[in-house]
Amino acid sequence: MMREGRRGVSLNDLLAADSASLTAHFVPPHEQFVSDVALVTEVEQILSVGPDAVVLLGQDFALGGWVVSVALRYAWERHAVALIVSDQLLSDSVVELARRFGVSLFTTARAIDRTAIALARSLGAREAGVLARLNVLHERVLRAGSLTETLQVVSHELGGGEVGVVIDGVVAQSVGRRRADAVDVRQRLVTADAARELVAGVPRQEQEFTERALARAAASVHAFLLADELRELRRAAPLLSFAALVGLDDAPTPPDLGAGGPRAAVALRLVDGGADVATALAPVVGTRWHARFPRVPLARTDVGWVAVVPLRAGAAAAAELRARLSALELGALGIAIGLAAVTDDETEGTDRSDAKAEPGARADLSTEVLLRRARLAARVAPDTGTPLPFEKLTTALLRRLLAPAEAAEVARAAMPALFAEQNTEELITTVVTYLDCASSVSGAAARLGIHRNTLQLRLRRASELGVPLGDPERLLGIHLLFSVLERARAHPEH
């Protein structure tokens, strides 16, 4: 196995051109790499041989097993990978010694000096080919215009294998496909900093080339990370004018950002840990964020981040945003996501001059209000990586106060007939969907994918079993109770 920092070519590839004249007596099962070919005429000369060399013993003195045995020991001490001697009968004890030392042992029918010259030429040609391949890779890396493009260039050179940036043990960004037989090759982006690495998963036989390829790409990857961080600071400058980033309630009203169109405020909250943990995670969060939202600034808060995201027109925009936020996979980092959106319906016809005259009107949905709502939602949201919309805050609060088992106990005590039915879960889902849709039969039927008559039959049956759908004063409690039960059924792991 090649030691870190060494260069060379595969021993099997090197010997392939001359394999007809070679007889293998022992070859280790693992891949070996060669960086030098050395012809020695005295055993002591092996002491000047460097690591990862193929040693050839001159035929004038390498006569007899004792010379080969001594040469094997010296080769092992010098970390040589193979020993080649002229054709002769080798004893089992000599072969066993090679096996114990892990040094490949060959005999050759050709003159030993001709074999040495042929191997040296082959090594030089193959090393030149590797260098040419690395130089081409380096040129392509230098032409890449982004971190993602750089990773794609390296992955393509490695046959589509997985290549990624790892920061503090967390994958910030990756491209390519991981193979079943892959081993990890790691390259620090900064020599003195083990927190940031370029990692590739490749077959073991590609390990040595991959080490050199990652070394060529490391400087560019590090430069893109630094550029992203600087760009993020510049983009976040307007958001940093919000004194509300560390205390929205006490801050004066800031200038409104992104007003006048569909938009959403996003708050990311570190559930456990303080500012030091948030600082350590910042590069990971920033890299993942900009992979999904390349033109949206993300600003740091005391223990989290906030952003204002423009939304495209249409009813599906909010759902699209939730899917993109879920794809950040921030739950594994212990980060909760709060979300507050203003859609086309809320901005249409808004007269901002009336904002002071009508507290609570749609005109009050400024960026300040959206950020406050998003942060409130983030305080309640679990660290599962699933964003919590502000409008779902009351249900989430009840889940905090009342565990699913307790909610089930309360519901069973209040409506025993309902829980005696075989289709209890179906009826609960129907009631929750109906109430989520503001008691719209058509809307609930469409969401469940059933006919409105079927929905009405289910609601009628739920009422018969004790669900107080006709009592407005009790509907909120039923909605919250059933929402907890429905959530627990749909996500038992949470």
Say which CATH number the domain at 378 has: 3.30.70
Q: Are 58 and 112 in contact (CB under 8 A)?
A: yes
| Same domain? 311 vs 341 | yes
* Domain around 196: 144-233
Confidence label for 304 from pLDDT (cuts 50, 70 and 90): confident
Q: Which of 220, 219, 221, 177 is nearest to 200 (CA)?
A: 177
CB-based contacts of 137, cutoff 8 Å, min separation 6: 153, 154, 157, 213, 216, 217
Instruction: Assess if residue 269 is contained within a domain.
Output: yes
Instruction: Assess if residue 1 is contained within a domain.
Output: no
Q: How far apart are CA 178 and CA 163, in angstroms?
A: 9
Q: How far apart are CA 204 and CA 188, in angstroms?
A: 19
Residue with tokens 């390519």: 176
* 47, two tokens: 């002491």
Q: pLDDT: is 248 or 154 the higher one? A: 154
pTM: 0.46
Instruction: Assess if residue 139 is contained within a domain.
Output: no
Q: How far apart are CA 462 and CA 1, in angstroms?
A: 70
Domain count, the chain: 4
* 475, two tokens: 């509907």
| Same domain? 248 vs 386 | yes
Question: Is 276's pLDDT higher than 50?
Answer: yes
DSSP type of residue 245: G
Confidence label for 343 from pLDDT (cuts 50, 70 and 90): low
Q: What is the pLDDT of residues 26-52, one digit of tens each?
A: 999 887 888 888 888 877 787 888 888
Q: What is the pLDDT of residue 58?
A: 83
How much of the chain exceeds pLDDT 70, in percent?
80
> Could you give the dihedral angle defined by the CA atoms of residues 97, 103, 109 and 111, in that order, rounded to the nearest 10 degrees?
-110
Instruction: Assess if residue 27 is contained within a domain.
Output: yes
Looking up residue 52, the CATH number of its domain turns out to be 3.40.1390.20
Instruction: Assess if residue 206 is contained within a domain.
Output: yes
The alpha-carbon radius of gyration of the chain (Å, integer) is 34
| Same domain? 170 vs 272 | no
Mean pLDDT of 124-130: 70
Q: How far apart are CA 385 and CA 381, in angstroms?
A: 9
The number of beta carbons lying within 10 Å of the beta carbon of residue 63 is 13
Helix, strand, coil fractions of the chain, as percent rounded to 5: 50, 20, 30
85 φ/ψ angles, rounded to the nearest 5 degrees? -130, 160
Q: Which of 285, 270, 244 is nearest to 367 (CA)?
A: 244
| Same domain? 36 vs 98 | yes
Instruction: Assess if residue 132 is contained within a domain.
Output: no
| Same domain? 162 vs 194 | yes
| Same domain? 116 vs 34 | yes
Pick the last residue of a domain from 186, 205, 233. Answer: 233
Instruction: Assess if residue 3 is contained within a domain.
Output: no
> Could you give the dihedral angle defined by the CA atoms of residues 144, 150, 153 and 156, in that order, rounded to the nearest 10 degrees?
-160
Q: What is the pLDDT of residues 345-373, one digit of tens each?
A: 444 333 333 333 333 334 445 777 888 88
| Same domain? 213 vs 323 | no
Mean pLDDT of 437-445: 89
Pick the last residue of a domain from 233, 258, 279. Answer: 233
| Same domain? 207 vs 251 | no
- Characterize 450-459 residue by residue with b for buried, 16 or more Cβ atoms within 10 angstroms of its Cβ, and e for exposed: eeeeebeebb
Instruction: Assess if residue 22 is contained within a domain.
Output: yes
